[in-house]
Amino acid sequence: MSAAPLTSSAPVLDLKGVSKSFGPVRALTDVSLRLLSGEVHCLAGENGAGKSTLIRVLTGALRRDGGDYEIAGEPVVAPTPASMRAAGVQAVYQELSLLPHLSVAENLFMGRLPARRGLLDRRGLRTRAREALDGVGLAAVDPDTVVERLPAATRQLVEIAKVLTAESVKVIVFDEPTTALTEEESARLLDHIRRLRDGGVAVLYVTHRLEEMFEIGDRVTVLRDGGLSESGPMSDYDEDRLITAMVGREVTSLYPESPSAQTQGDAGVPVLRVRGLRRTADAPSVDLDVRAGEIVGLGGLLGSGRSELLLSIFGADPISTGEIQIDGRMVKPSGPRSMMEAGVGLLTEDRKELGLLPELSIRENVTIASLRAGSRRGLLPGRDLAEEADRLLDSLRLRAGSYDQPVSTLSGGNQQKVLLARWLLTRPKVLLFDEPTKGIDVGAKGELYTVIGDLARQGLGIVVVSSYLPELLGLADRVLVLRDGAIAGELGSGASEEDVLRLASSASTDPAGTDEEGATHA
Amino acid sequence: MPKLLWREPVGTATGPRVVTLGAVAGRESGGLVVLLVAVGILALVSNEFLTGGNLSNLARQVAIFGIIAVGELLVILTAGIDLSVGSVLALSGAVTAQLLVAGVPVPLAIGVGIAVGVVLGLVNGMLVTRLKLPPFIATLGMLGIARGIVLVITDAKTVQGSGLPQGFQTIANGTVLGVPNLLIIAAGVTAAAWFVLTRTVFGRYVYAVGSNPESARLAGVPVRTVTVSVYAISGLLAGLGGVLLTSRLGAGIPTAGTGFELNAIAACVIGGASLFGAKGSALGAATGALIMGVLNNGGNLLAINAFYLQIAIGVLIIVAVAFDQWNTRAAARSG
């Protein structure tokens, strides 16, 4: 590792007036960015602001159209990903780049596996992998483990370990590294990044989570609509000013007014009532009530069973025992179809794998769940349904060239709106949201929160799972915290992030100390 | 419940649209161009090509093959594959021929022959959905099983007896107003598949399953039923093809249909279908079958070595898919 001296004032990486167009679309216009060694530089901006394009120009994945690019004073002429890596620009991507079926060791050194005359040097590989893993605190991970068996947080660290094995590490780009991580795991990752920074690496950190920027950033550059909005020391900014710089307008409050279900209809029957739900015979039993107009948050660590609970309620995962009532009527959870017909909708966390039909058009994606109800004798429903779908998309402010284009051409926030429209079209009584704003930019987040608040006011029962605590607490009327598949406790709307964390993690931080539960509750 | 609109809709979908040939004519446009070019060239260089006799001959050659291709297309749209269609065709044809030789009435013999195809298709579907076998493996197994059964029950001999009933042979060899029956049946099958795929809920579900089965399931699509159905339909059409081939040849041939599965897949691909699912159309599959038929027919007319034709069709498959890939990337670039 050839790190620059700690206190050099000359930039390690210097972009000046860089532009990039895709056909007629200008993705970047006259953007400049200087990264100094030993500094964490945050890159902020909404989706579509040009962050990904900038990163791809930086890492050599894209050729810039204009402007200058220098690494440690040397001009970069014809960058390719390989040449940029060799020059010391490394990246940890949001979409993990590990090969899931190969071992950790093979992944760490893929492309430059130690070998003698074409034969793999297995022992050398293991030793070097061991060192690399120890370097990121993964002493417990066996280099021979197959990557797909590792939890997301560990994979993220393996990814970092992989980057650190490069010959030269001057700059590391982190693109949304904490998206799949819980608060605690994120905190550990940020610690790692701090250590890298203190070791003299220049870090470019991209995240949607504002408080992370304040936690780790020394300097921030804000992009808006492909241009440079602002750049300056992090200490010059507070949350409001940063958001204003990103969206170009004042955002008063991200979260909707509490619809205060308590005053609306606590006398009514819960619109969703779950009793004694067990996923397997020896799994803990879960009870859950959601009243009409109420937003219930589900908190907990990654792996605490939040997503699984939603999938079980929706009938997508088999359950062992338990009963589910929708609007007072018992529903046999025989599959997503029966729950859908009873009035339940589920927006999954993984939109790509468990939501979108990428080859189908936007309109076809919206209507797919309502086709049967609107069909006569098996024929596709007429214009009415399509028009209703269009109206819903219009009211959700979907940004698309045409509703006939494939849904895969949309950005994350707009894809989420398509899925939301799909469920709204089925006239649901209960909507389950799993990490609704994952990978969605600030502006679209605010819109989505407004919509969720509006839907609750319309009388829907809503369940939101979120790892992002400000969101969970800002959105929900009350929060249930899950731990190891069981409900560890319930918190009112006034609860703090610490309350949630304490409930979520008291057992897992001290597995033997179940008798301490009483103390943490008090 | 009232409409779930809580604020004024704002029309946002007004951006400019790039109009391409594909947008107008659908994904089979490339195939149509190739077909027209091939027909045009043949009409110019051969005096025989556009004669009624040759055209109806061409139609008879292509029809059965087109029917199989349409069935294959449904399976391919769900991102599956059916390798058993050739063997199923042979078995259905031989069973029908044996029943006819045994004196069973024509309609019943046809019904049983087609039913054999449906049952084998259902078994394929069950293997894929219940035992979770990859479609390639399940239908590869069925390819061997069905071929083995037909060789066993016929003792590998042509089933002809003292000649199949004349009424039965007329089905595939007769004409209506000068149009070969086979062509009418194939056109009917293509039209029916087109209607099902573009106008029915089931058709939309087929594309949804091919696009992403897990997403489709979570949107309430009965993924298993749809999957079993497409294999059953593919089996049904293979059975129908077998009955028609037996009728055309006036005999049940146990080795009939060898290699049909690969030709059917080729026809789908040339017609714009993607083996990854959710892309393709019935018209495209029929066009693909026609292209291959026209090339073979033209080759015969021009006395081109048939081996060269195989090379040409191989090249065509690669070009068709490469062109499609290039098109997809171009579309992605233009946003």
Residue A416, C-beta contacts closer than 8 angstroms, at least 6 positions apart: A347, A351, A436, A437, A440, A444, A448
Q: What's the confidence (pLDDT) of residue B67?
A: 97
User: A449 and A413, same structural domain?
Assistant: no
Domain at A307, CATH number: 3.40.50.300
Question: In the block, which residue shows the tokens 């009530």?
Answer: A289
Tokens standing for residue A167 = 């010959």
**A 452-471 residues with CB below 8 A of B?**
454-455, 457-458
What chain B holds in terms of domains, given with CATH numbers, is 51-323 (1.10.3470)
- A159 domain residue, yes or no: no
Q: Where is mean pLDDT largest: A100-104, A180-184, B120-124? A: B120-124
Q: What is the mean pLDDT of each run of 10 residues along chain B (335 residues)?
A: 46 46 56 86 89 89 95 97 97 97 96 98 97 96 97 94 91 91 96 95 96 93 96 98 96 94 93 90 93 90 87 87 78 58
Q: What's the confidence (pLDDT) of residue A9?
A: 65
- A108 domain residue, yes or no: no
Kind of pairing, strands A219-224 and A227-233? antiparallel
Residue A171 confidence class, pLDDT cut points 50, 70, 90: very high
What's the pLDDT tens digit per position in B59-88? 988 999 999 999 999 999 999 999 999 999
User: A73 and A218, same structural domain?
Assistant: yes
Tokens standing for residue B223 = 């993924």
- A71 domain residue, yes or no: yes
Q: What's the confidence (pLDDT) of residue A79?
A: 87
d(CA A489, CA A521): 8
d(CA A264, CA A98): 49
Q: Out of A161-170, A322-331, A497-506, B49-58, which region has the weakest mean confidence (pLDDT)? A: A497-506
Domain boundary among A393, A426, A459: A426
Q: Would an 8 Å CB–CB cutoff place B60 in contact with chain A?
A: no
d(CA B6, CA A454): 7
- Helix, strand or coil, per DSSP, at residue A63: coil
Is residue A293 within 8 Å of residue A457, measured between CB atoms? yes
Q: What is the mean pLDDT of residues A229-247?
A: 85
Q: Give the chain B residue whose CA is nearest to the CA of A410.
A: B335
What is B32-48 written as a DSSP string? HHHHHHHHHHHHHH-SS
| Phi, psi (deg, nearest 5) at residue A12 | -75, -40
User: A239 and A175, same structural domain?
Assistant: yes
Q: What's the confidence (pLDDT) of residue A137?
A: 80
- A195 domain residue, yes or no: no
Residue A121, C-beta contacts closer than 8 angstroms, at least 6 positions apart: A113, A114, A115
Nearest to B5 among A355, A357, A392 (CB): A392
A402/B277 touch (CB, cutoff 8 Å), yes or no: no
Query: CA–CA distance from A425 to each of A324, A333, A373, A404, B225 (Å)?
Result: 23, 21, 11, 17, 24
- A178 domain residue, yes or no: yes
- Helix, strand or coil, per DSSP, at residue A31: strand
Q: What is the mean pLDDT of chain A?
A: 83
Tokens standing for residue B225 = 């039923």
What's the pLDDT tens digit per position in A259-315? 544 444 454 678 999 999 998 888 889 999 999 999 999 988 777 889 899 999 999
d(CA A252, CA A242): 13
Containing structural domain, residue A388: 359-426
Q: Give, as one character, the DSSP assignment of residue A149.
A: G
A&B contacts, CB < 8 Å: 130
Q: Would an 8 Å CB–CB cutoff place A353 in contact with chain B?
A: yes
d(CA A348, CA A358): 15
Q: What's the confidence (pLDDT) of residue A94?
A: 61
Reduce the secondary structure of A365-424 to three states and give it as a string. HHHHHHHHHHCECCECCCHHHHHHHHHHHHHCCCCCCCCCCEHHHCCHHHHHHHHHHHHH
User: A391 and A286, same structural domain?
Assistant: no
Residue A24 confidence class, pLDDT cut points 50, 70, 90: low
User: A231 and A287, same structural domain?
Assistant: no
Query: Which stretch of DSSP H or E encloses residue A83?
Result: helix A81-86
Nearest to A380 among B8, B199, B334 (CB): B199
- A113 domain residue, yes or no: no
Query: CA–CA distance from A22 to each of A50, A64, A65, B333 (Å)?
Result: 12, 11, 10, 7
Q: What's the confidence (pLDDT) of residue A353?
A: 83
Residue A354, C-beta contacts closer than 8 angstroms, at least 6 positions apart: A348, B214, B215, B218
Domain boundary among A426, A448, A477: A426
User: A332 and A274, same structural domain?
Assistant: yes
The residue type at B103:
G
Q: Would an 8 Å CB–CB cutoff place B155 in contact with chain A?
A: no
- A5 domain residue, yes or no: no
B200/A341 touch (CB, cutoff 8 Å), yes or no: no
Residue A46 confidence class, pLDDT cut points 50, 70, 90: confident
Q: Give the chain A residue whose CA is nearest to the CA of B332.
A: A409
Residue A201 has pLDDT above 70, yes or no: yes
Q: Would an 8 Å CB–CB cutoff place A211 in contact with chain B?
A: no
Report the gap between the CA of B132 and the closest CA in chain A (Å): 17
**A 377-396 residues with CB below 8 A of B?**
378-380, 388, 390-395
d(CA A252, CA A51): 24
Domain boundary among A220, A250, A280: A250
- Helix, strand or coil, per DSSP, at residue B160: coil
User: A439 and A339, same structural domain?
Assistant: yes
What's the pLDDT tens digit per position in A416-453? 999 999 999 999 999 999 999 887 777 788 888 989 99
d(CA A509, CA A446): 33
Residue count of chain B, please give it: 335
User: A241 and A277, same structural domain?
Assistant: no
Report the gap between the CA of B333 and the closest CA in chain A (Å): 7
* A284 CB-contact burial (10 Å; exposed 0-12 / middle 13-18 / buried 19+): middle
Q: What's the confidence (pLDDT) of residue A514?
A: 39
Q: What's the confidence (pLDDT) of residue A185?
A: 78
Radius of gyration of chain A (CA): 25
If one counts the domains in chain A, the total is 3
**What is Dmax (Cα atoms) for chain B?**
77
User: A434 and A503, same structural domain?
Assistant: yes
Closest CA to A324 of A280, A270, A283: A270
From the CB of residue B132, how many other CB atoms can be counted at a distance below 10 Å? 8
Question: In the block, which residue shows the tokens 């964390």?
Answer: A501
User: A499 and A391, same structural domain?
Assistant: no
Q: Would an 8 Å CB–CB cutoff place B18 in contact with chain A?
A: no
- A105 domain residue, yes or no: no
**What is Dmax (Cα atoms) for chain A?**
77
User: A402 and A268, same structural domain?
Assistant: no
Nearest to B278 among A336, A360, A379 (CB): A360
User: A446 and A470, same structural domain?
Assistant: yes
Nearest to A368 among B7, B12, B204 (CB): B204
Q: What's the confidence (pLDDT) of residue B14?
A: 42
Q: Out of A78-87, A467-476, A506-515, which region has the weakest mean confidence (pLDDT)? A: A506-515
What's the pLDDT tens digit per position in A244-275? 787 775 555 567 665 544 444 454 678 999 99
- Helix, strand or coil, per DSSP, at residue A491: strand
Cα torsion through A164, A167, A170, A173, rounded to 10: -50
Test mutation, A341, A346, A360, A415, chain B, max B CBs within 10 A: A360
